[in-house]
Amino acid sequence: MSEITHRTVETNGIRLHVAEAGEGPLVLLLHGWPESWYSWRHQLPVLARAGYRVVAPDVRGYGRSDAPLEVEAYRMKALVADFVGLLDSLGERTAVVVGHDWGAAMAWDCAALHPERFRAVVGMSVPHLGRPPLPPTQLFRKAFGDQWFYILYFQEPGVAEAELEADIPRTMRTVLAGTAGFDVTSEVVRARKPGDEFLTGVPTPERLPSWLTEEDVAYFVGEFSRRGFRGGLNRYRNMDRDWAELPELATVKIEQPALFLVGEKDPGRAFAPVDLMKPLVPNLREVRVLPGAGHWIQQERADEVNAALLEFLASLPA
């Protein structure tokens, strides 16, 4: 990782830690939950060598970035403003924005709300679904009824934090390498009852998959041991607030060139249908499903993701 440098940048009234590499057109990489800039460790040097300036921040609430206390500090409007301000602080007028998981939702919204600043967009794992007809938590309650659902479990401040922070090494190992609590297709998760937790019934794997090393897990453990899980969980607690604050997402179209990547075995596919995205993203160049891959695709399938990103970036106007 000798090509990657680190610094702190001021934007939108907070400080973001960023990892960066290379020179050229800017590519902004946004991570999801529960991750950090480190999730892009395989992309930063490859894109940099291909002639791009690549910047991966710790999103507010994560790693070495600021973590405001208030729940509302993690609403989508604030996060998008962070990234617009980050472009300003980097001295860049435009960027290609790439996001995974919650970072994908942020990337899509950056492109939708600020097309003059984000000239193309890549989403991974989470499609752009616009604005639903009802606040998201109401939809989830209708869809899942009495069935346990992780986003509803995350809503009460302090509850999930206490569980996940009780044994951070177990949490990170289980979430990254085991059956995650967001896998609504798994029998373990489907068997949960009210009062169960995110990791209830999930064994912690002794052996890691080939794409994840003990050093990788240790890095994530260190980041969440420093910062805790509150900031990332607060993102889930703003979904209804976002619905109220951003009504334009119901109709605005993302006209920029776009790419969507998803793992064939990503559990999110069970409740985030890609077809709903297509009318809102008319210049969606491709939906690429990576055979056999799960949720953490830029880590699991780094070579394939890098190839897809390089192909997409090369297709864009200079």
What local confidence, expressed as pLDDT, does residue 272 receive? 74
What DSSP string describes the chain?
Answer: -TT-EEEEEEETTEEEEEEEE--SSEEEEE--TT--GGGGTTTHHHHHHTT-EEEEE--TTSTTS---S-GGGGSHHHHHHHHHHHHHHHT-S-EEEEEETHHHHHHHHHHHH-TTTEEEEEEESS------SS-HHHHHHHHHTTS--HHHHTTSTTHHHHHHHHTHHHHHHHHHHS--TT-TTSHHHHT--TT--TTTTPPPPSS--TT--HHHHHHHHHHHHHH-SHHHHHHHTTHHHHHHH-GGGGT----S-EEEEEETT-GGGGTS-GGGGTTT-TTEEEEEEETT--S-HHHHTHHHHHHHHHHHHHHS--
* Digit-coded pLDDT (tens) for 211-261: 999 999 999 999 999 999 999 999 999 999 999 999 999 999 999 999 999
User: Regarding the domain with residue range 5-315, which homologous superfamily does it belong to in the CATH classification?
Assistant: Alpha/Beta hydrolase fold, catalytic domain (3.40.50.1820)
Query: Any idea which residues carry the catalytic annotation?
Result: 101, 295
* Digit-coded pLDDT (tens) for 78-122: 999 999 999 999 999 999 999 999 999 999 999 999 999 999 999
pTM here is: 0.96
Q: Structural domain boundaries of the chain?
A: 5-315
Give the pLDDT mean for 291-305: 96
